Structures are given as C-alpha cells and as structure tokens.
Amino acid sequence: MTKVFNPWIDMDINSQRRVDKNLNYDFFWMLDIEGKYGFFIDSRNILEDDKTDISLKGISIKKVSIDTNISRLYLILNDNDDYEIFLTLCQDLINTANKYDNKQEIIVEIENRLKRWQHLLKNNNYSGLTIERQMGLFSELIFLKNKIASEVGITDAIISWVGPDFDKQDFSIESATIEVKSYKTTKGEIIYISSLQQLQSPKLPLYLVAYGLTISERGLSILDIIESIEKQISDEWILEQFKLKLFEYGYIEGVSTKNRLYKFLVDKESIYEVSEKFPKIEKNNISSQIISVKYGIELTECKEFEVEFDSIFQVGGVI
C-alpha cells in the first residue's frame, strides 16, 4: 500500500496553510505552538452558537470568534501518531462541504458529519471492525460485486446498496429487496435477525441471501473486495458514494486497514424467498408492547424456500 499523505509533515511550528482556495469554505491545515497537528475552518457561521455538544475522543474541538465577522472552528489532534484517522476526518469534512453551495446547508452537514465521527470515535482509539462486522460487510460487498453488478452494472449496484444508510434491508432493486446475512460455517447454518423490520418489506418479493464463511489466509479480505470494486468504477461521483457508504458502515479508508482484517473463504451461498410462510417474527403478529427482537433462523430447516439467484432479477433487475 502507498504511504498516506501527511499535509503537516513539512510545516513549521505555529503555522497554517490553506487547503484549497477553490473550496466553499476557508479550510486550513495548521501546526499549533506545541507542534500538534490541527485543522480549522473560518466562516461567518460555522455552528449554531459558540457552544457545541460534539466531543471527539483524541481530538480537541474549539470554536472562537476572530472578530465580529469571522468565527473559527478548530480541531486539534492530541497525539500526532494518530494523524491518519485525523486526516481522514478532515478530508471527510472537506468533501462534505464541497458538495454544497449553500452555506447554511454546509453548516448542517458539517455538524452531522462531526456527530457521525463522534459515534465512530467513542473510544480513545478507533478499534476497527469486529470480526462479525467484517463478515457482514464482506458478504454485502461480495453480493454487490458478484451478483448485483454482474446484472445491472457497477454504478446501479452501488446505488442499490442501501444497508449502510440504515435502511431496513441491504439492497433495493426494481425487482426486489434483499437482506444479506453471513454465518461461520463451523457454527452451523444459523443466521441472526436483529430487528422486526429486516424480514419485512412493503416492496415484494423480499429475498434473504446467506453466505457461509471460513476464516482462512487463502481467502479475501474486505480490502481486497473494496479495491476490486473501485477498479470497476469510472465515475468520480459513484466512487465518492461508494466510499461514503463504506464510511457509514464503519469502514474508514486508510485507518481500518491498520487493524487486523480477516480473510474469508465462501463455503456456501444460498438464497431464500421470504414468503408469507417463511419463518419470521412479524410486527403484526406480536404484542405492541414488544418493540425490538433478535432471533436465529436455522437455514437447514428452510430448504423449501430456497430459490436460484436468477430469481432476484426476473422482473428486470434495473434500479
């Protein structure tokens, strides 16, 4: 892998440098008087007031008034060794702001992005994706690349991937909605449903795709799949959308790879039509006092609902 760009490496103590004069806001890299890496934004209106409830572990946030017309939002990294994740955060804010011409929209989006980062950095050090999250992301990416993209193309495949947007299912195409699950082959063909909505959709048919995985150095990691998908993308906006969805999933480019990425072999892939008789807990069949559920499904007992992968696209398969 290539060495990560470090915009602070050649800067002097207590200095600043504009990121890009063409951006909608005035963004600056900075090195403070203690030599700590920093980033700041100048604006007439950065946040709604002088106070903010945003708190990022490992990063100091401060808003100050420079004069009657300019306010400044500072982000200072507490430990320069963590610059890669800090740089990713800064670049994410820059990319977010650059999508908007309306300054008020930019303000709202910057706040939203910082709050999302607050969620990701709730521990002092971002510990990366758990093995379960890696299995989930791996399976969704494999399905996107090998199944959806092969039918509708990489652009529509990425648009159809709605799981990271916290949708009820993982993929939504014209002909169907699809929920993707994974399980460790050694633990048996059992998948877990984590909400009442996952196996319910107003848009039918609904399919459940399951991948049986084994951890193996002979397999592929999520990074391998991501790089393979990115090579197929020629549109800059689609690439940005793909990276944004990975970020929403919890995969941080240039940072998640610092922690262990497991490699997986796909032992089995199967698809089931979630028909009316498919075993599931439905909201209209339980007490209104029950607001959340988590349960397992033994797939070896669901053979009667198994269908071919081509069934998904029978109606047309166009986003």
User: Are 140 and 275 part of one and the same domain?
Assistant: yes
User: Are 187 and 262 part of one and the same domain?
Assistant: yes
How far is 258 from 252, CA to CA, in rounded Å?
10
Q: Number of folded domains in the chain? A: 2
User: Are 244 and 109 part of one and the same domain?
Assistant: no
Is the preceding peptide bond at 205 cis, omega within 30 degrees of 0?
A: yes
Any domain includes 70: yes
User: Are 93 and 158 part of one and the same domain?
Assistant: no
Domain boundary among 98, 120, 142: 120
Single pTM value for the model = 0.74
User: Are 107 and 196 part of one and the same domain?
Assistant: no
User: Are 158 and 105 part of one and the same domain?
Assistant: no
User: Are 237 and 300 part of one and the same domain?
Assistant: yes
- Residue 200's pLDDT is 84
Find, among 91, 94, 2, 113, the residue nearest to 47 by Cα: 113
Residue 84: give its domain's CATH number.
Answer: 3.30.1460
Domain of 175 in residue numbering reads as 131-313
The number of beta carbons lying within 10 Å of the beta carbon of residue 11 is 17
pLDDT in tens, the chain (319 residues): 445 679 999 999 999 999 987 776 788 999 999 999 999 988 766 555 555 667 788 888 887 877 767 778 899 999 998 888 888 889 888 877 777 766 666 777 777 888 888 877 765 455 678 999 999 999 999 999 999 999 999 999 999 999 775 557 899 988 889 999 999 999 999 999 988 888 888 777 999 999 999 999 999 999 999 999 999 999 988 987 898 888 888 887 766 666 689 999 999 999 999 999 999 998 888 888 988 889 999 999 999 999 998 888 875 433 3
CA atoms within 13 A on the CB side of 135: 20
User: Are 160 and 231 part of one and the same domain?
Assistant: yes
CA distances from 133 to 28, 167, 222, 299, 311 (A): 35, 16, 10, 20, 27
User: Are 108 and 173 part of one and the same domain?
Assistant: no
- Residue 258's pLDDT is 63
Residues ≥6 apart with Cβ < 8 Å to 288: none
State how far Cα 130 lies from the chain centre. 14
Write the DSSP symbol of residue 44. Answer: S
User: Are 21 and 154 part of one and the same domain?
Assistant: no
Any domain includes 10: no
> Can you tell me which residue has the tokens 């549109």?
235
- Residue 103's pLDDT is 64
Domain boundary among 120, 154, 173: 120
User: Are 109 and 144 part of one and the same domain?
Assistant: no
- Residue 132's pLDDT is 94
Domain boundary among 59, 93, 120: 120
- Residue 55's pLDDT is 79
